């Protein structure tokens, strides 16, 4: 697993590469304006999210149970799906 410094350096390098390669007047950073999302989760919270996900609990309800915003739950679910830690559900809209 990469250290925080390695991740930051990689992000900076990608941004510089993008800027130098594309040379656009405006560069947009994805999700930059999202202020209400919490990006850090404990292992216990993630385990609880995984259990709720497996029980097909809607993400709106998961947000209430986990005391997180819906957007924070959505991003954590995307992260868990991307990492293969949880399986896609038939219907995984926020509801």
The string of DSSP codes covering the chain is ---HHHHHHHHHHHHHHHHHHH--S----TTTT--S------HHHHHHHHHHHHTT--HHHHHHHHT--HHHHHHHHHHHHHTTSSPPPS-----
Provide the pLDDT for residue 24. Answer: 59
> What's the number of CA atoms in the CB half-sphere (13 Å) around residue 30?
3
Answer yes or no: pTM beyond 0.75: no
CA torsion, points 27, 29, 35, 38, in degrees to nearest 10? Answer: -160
Mean pLDDT of 56-77: 93
pLDDT top residue among 74 and 33: 74
């Amino acid at each position: 697993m990469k250290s925080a410094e390695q991740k930051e350096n990689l992000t900076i390098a990608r941004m510089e590469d993008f800027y130098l390669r594309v040379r656009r007047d405006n560069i947009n950073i994805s999700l930059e304006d999202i202020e209400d999302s919490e990006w850090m989760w404990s292992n216990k919270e993630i385990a609880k999210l995984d259990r709720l996900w497996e029980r097909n609990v809607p993400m709106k309800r998961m947000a209430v149970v986990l005391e997180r915003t819906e957007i924070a739950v959505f991003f954590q679910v995307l992260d868990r799906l991307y990492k293969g830690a949880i399986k896609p559900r038939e219907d995984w809209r926020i509801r």
